[in-house]
Amino acid sequence: MSDLNKEVKGKTVQDKLSELSELVAWFQSPAFKLEDAFDKFKQSEALAEEIEKDLTKLKNDIQVVKKKFDTED
Amino acid sequence: MENNPLQLSVSEFVELTNQTLEYAYPTVSVVGEVTEFRISQGKWVSFKLKDAGAVVGCFLTTYQLRMPVEDGMKLLVVANPRLNNKGFFSLNVRSMKPVGEGSIKKGFELLKAKLEAEGLFAPERKRRLPRVPQRVAVISSTESAGYADFCKIINERWGGMVVEVAHTQVQGVPAPDQMIRAIRYFNSLEVLPEVLVIVRGGGSAEDLMAFNDEPLARAIAASRIPTLVGVGHEIDTSLADMVADVRAATPTNAAEILVPDRNEIIRAAHQQASSLGNQLTQAIDEYSARTREQLSAAFRRIQEKLNEHFERLAALRLATAQLNPENVLKRGYALLRGDIKPGATVEIETLYEIAEAEVKNVRSK
């Protein structure tokens, strides 16, 4: 499993991106309620911060395979 | 020596000649123009290489033929010179490549037409790459600048991927076979990578010729893993590019196509959150406006009701005023109190006075 799917505070970056999209969709949907909107907005700000932190620290794992390709096996 | 020449059988002579050739010139590179190119029984390839002064026969198998050849092309062949048992001298070709711009172009066009006719470039064959791959296979020379550029850009743009790299030559005669072996290797893994990337930086047309190799083009086309090929500079087009699922102009461009830019995603996430803030402010403004409107409507309604009541009250006041007996006295009438019978005393009230009077007579009207 790559770092992208590792759980950071119980959620992956992908989860957080999806959650942020869901919040955006909620604001456009008939389910929108002003009473809940402020909390959802604070939640989206926190998610954006976490996404930034998570993405900034992700590193690629580049491995050169040991097999040689200069001759047939 | 002339007095005592070496006496040999024909077979011995052929064998000795071949031993001498093998010792003196085990491998030669010969450049010439192709003539009398033929393929026999789908297996054997023969042609002659000529220049202004001489002609030499060449022989190879179709398996070794890595590109279409036709008469008139200028080739460099790497071969073992041999004298066969029938007395014909030939070059047993180990590898060959076109030389000169015209021949390179000709070879490229012939192979391109062949692969195109087979539908290997068809848009409907092209597969989409995953938006954010997690496991990527790369074929390149790990010593090349193109590979360094590719790694630099993927590391800048994204993270969290497992990138497996097969180090191969990316130019020269051995390069296509090495890259084919690497393609097969990745395609044989139990868990396939999500994308197979082949990258190589810029170079001369001859340097990039490895990517116009027919077996390599076919191996890329046959890959079970979706392919992304970025070879050379933007102006270079190779057959490897054309058969790939996605073509990148350069190794840097391949990295840009392969992964999203994390900075853009971070920016987009903050923009999304901030747009929700704007939507929230707008929703509050709309809610306030709506509440003000509702209050104002309620006030108008109360006002209307009050007006209705005031009007009704005024009408009642008028009616009440009209019933006031004083108003009747003002019109000159008098109010009479007491029994109306002869001899009785009655009280008569006018507007300004009250008089007492005796009833003298009573008659019916």
Neighbours of B13 (CB within 10 A): 14
Partner A contacted by B87 (CB < 8 A): no
Identify the pLDDT of residue B137: 98
Residue B363 falls within a domain, yes or no? no
Residue B209 falls within a domain, yes or no? yes
Domain that holds residue B337: 326-358
pLDDT in tens, B81-109: 999 999 899 999 999 888 888 888 888 89
What are the helix and strand counts (H, E) for chain B?
9, 13
Residue B201 falls within a domain, yes or no? yes
The answer to whether residue A1 scores a pLDDT higher than 50 is no
Co-location of B128 and B252 in the same domain: yes
Partner A contacted by B283 (CB < 8 A): yes
B83 forms beta bridges with: B89
3-state class of B31 per DSSP? Answer: strand
Q: Distances in Å between the alpha carbon of A48 and those of A15, A41, B167, B260?
A: 12, 11, 39, 17
Contact A48 B273 (CB under 8 A): yes
Strands (E), B116-172: 135-140, 162-167
| Shortest Cα–Cα distance, A15 to chain B (Å) | 13
Enter the tokens of residue B193: 């990578």
pLDDT in tens, B116-152: 999 999 999 999 999 889 999 999 999 999 999 999 9
Interface A:B, Cβ pairs < 8 A: 119
Mean pLDDT of chain B: 92
Co-location of B27 and B152 in the same domain: no
Strands B345-349 and A61-64: unpaired
Identify the pLDDT of residue B33: 94
Co-location of B206 and B242 in the same domain: yes
Mutate to test the interface with B, among A2, A15, A32 (most CBs of B within 10 A): A2
CATH at B86: 2.40.50.140
pLDDT in tens, A8-22: 457 888 899 999 999
Pick the residue with more confidence: A73 or B185?
A: B185
Co-location of B151 and B240 in the same domain: yes
pLDDT in tens, B42-56: 999 999 999 999 999
User: Which residues, other chains included, contact B95 with Cβ-Cβ below 8 Å and sequence gap of 6+?
Assistant: B64, B66, B77, B78, B173
| Shortest Cα–Cα distance, A10 to chain B (Å) | 17
Give me the mean pLDDT over the B28-40 stretch: 94
pLDDT tier at B209 (50, 70, 90 boundaries)?
A: confident
Partner A contacted by B288 (CB < 8 A): no
CB B141 within 8 A of CB B168: yes
Least confident of B155-164, B279-288, B305-314, B319-328: B319-328
Residue B157 falls within a domain, yes or no? yes
Q: Which residues of A touch B158 (CB under 8 A)?
A: 58, 60
Share of chain B above pLDDT 70, in %: 99
Give me the mean pLDDT over the A50-65 stretch: 93
Q: Tell me which long-range contacts B262-266 makes (C-beta under 8 A, separation of at least 24).
A: B262/A55, B262/A56, B262/A58, B262/B157, B262/B158, B262/B159, B263/B157, B265/A17, B265/A51, B265/A55, B266/A48, B266/A51, B266/A52, B266/A55, B266/A56
Task: Compute CA A7 distance to the chain's CA centroid, rounded to the nearest angstrom.
Answer: 10
Co-location of B247 and B143 in the same domain: yes
- Report phi then psi at B211, rounded to 5: -85, 5
The answer to whether residue A2 scores a pLDDT higher than 70 is no
Identify the pLDDT of residue B178: 96
Identify the pLDDT of residue B276: 93
pLDDT in tens, B155-182: 999 998 999 999 999 998 899 999 999 9
Co-location of B74 and B127 in the same domain: no
Identify the pLDDT of residue A3: 44
pLDDT in tens, A24-53: 999 999 999 988 999 999 999 999 999 999
Enter the tokens of residue B291: 């509440």
Co-location of B130 and B256 in the same domain: yes
Contact B262 A5 (CB under 8 A): no
Q: Which residues of A touch B181 (CB under 8 A)?
A: 69, 72
Contact B159 A55 (CB under 8 A): yes
| Number of structural domains in chain B | 3
Partner B contacted by A27 (CB < 8 A): yes
| Shortest Cα–Cα distance, A40 to chain B (Å) | 9
Residue B253 falls within a domain, yes or no? yes
Co-location of B209 and B167 in the same domain: yes
The ipTM of this complex is: 0.81
Question: At residue B87, what is the residue type?
Answer: G
Pick the residue with more confidence: B16 or B326?
A: B16
Residue B195 falls within a domain, yes or no? yes
Residue B142 falls within a domain, yes or no? yes
Identify the pLDDT of residue A13: 86
